[in-house]
Amino acid sequence: MTSFAERRWKSTDGLSLFARDYPGVGGEARLPVICLHGLTRNSSDFETLAPFIASLGRRVIVPDVRGRGLSQWDANHDRYVPQTYAKDVKELLDALGIAKAVFLGTSMGGIIMMMLAARQRGRISAVVLNDVGPKVSPEGIARIQSYAGKPVELNCWADAVAYVRRINKDALPNLGDEDWERLTKRTFERADSGPILKYDAGISTQLNAGRAKFPSFMAWMLYRRLTAKRKTLILRGETSDILSRETAKRMVAEATTARLVEVPGVGHAPLLDEPTSEAALLSFLEEVA
């Protein structure tokens, strides 16, 4: 597995933020790829995909969004919004001297990309949206609200594995015991007091407020700005409760350069190690600079 360098940068409001930096194998003649994770997730979600992309000769940058993973938590929970996250990503690109890249975003990561496109559109060469779009199904939001940021008291690692399985089993019905163990390691860290979630519970406070302040027409406008004249791959979990099939089809209709691939047997969100996901990503990355 390709190793990565640990990068740190300071946000303009003073937080110490973290990213994984995977060098492209055999050089970096092609544009780098920026991978952005979901709401309660972190950079470890790409620990399998990032080395795969790096093996294709592309540098891969995977940040921990503030409040997650190894990035510092923000005492001001009002800053846990996609606009802030997009600014953080812009500052990371500046710090690393990256002028242009391919962007891949899972769930919230895709929303960050739309926000980035509002002011930094020229830095985005091509787009991969993993189970996210301008319209998010309320059923999926309600499901995420049922656990995101809620107190979790676990006595042992087995409890953590059971918790991860419980909140994800409907979306990922085909995972085996080793898969659940791996997903748990991405979700929790071990501590003397018991397993601890790798995110600040405060990130959930903006779930309702953010949606209330962000009208639908603006979301579609940002989507069109993100995808205009750019190769775009949309991945949708077959049983997703976040990205409906209707919304996904409209996304393709409104972006002539977009291609939709449905990942069978999974919901929100594909882990990107499924054969269908890998094949779609490989084909897409072969087509872009």
Nearest by Cα to 41 from 184, 170, 160, 146: 184
Q: DSSP letters of 38-57? A: -TT--GGGGTTHHHHHHTTT
Q: Which ranges of the chain have pLDDT less than 70?
A: 1-2, 208-215
Q: What is the pLDDT of residue 9?
A: 98
Start-to-end CA distance of the chain, whole Å, equals 24
Question: Is domain 5-137+201-287 annotated with CATH 3.30.470.20?
Answer: no
Q: What is the pLDDT of residue 212?
A: 46
The dihedral sign for the CA sequence 134, 140, 142, 144? negative
> How far is the C-alpha of 209 from the C-alpha of 163, rounded, in Å?
27
Q: What is the pLDDT of residues 216-264, one digit of tens each?
A: 889 999 999 999 999 999 999 999 999 999 999 999 999 999 999 999 9
Q: What is the pLDDT of residue 20?
A: 99
Delimit the domains of the chain by residue range.
Answer: 5-137+201-287, 150-198
- Which residue spans within 165-276 are E strands per DSSP? 188-189, 196-197, 232-237, 258-263
Q: What is the pLDDT of residue 209?
A: 57
> How far is the C-alpha of 124 from the C-alpha of 116, rounded, in Å?
9
Give one word for 229, left, alpha or beta, with left for phi > 0 and alpha for psi -120 to 50: left
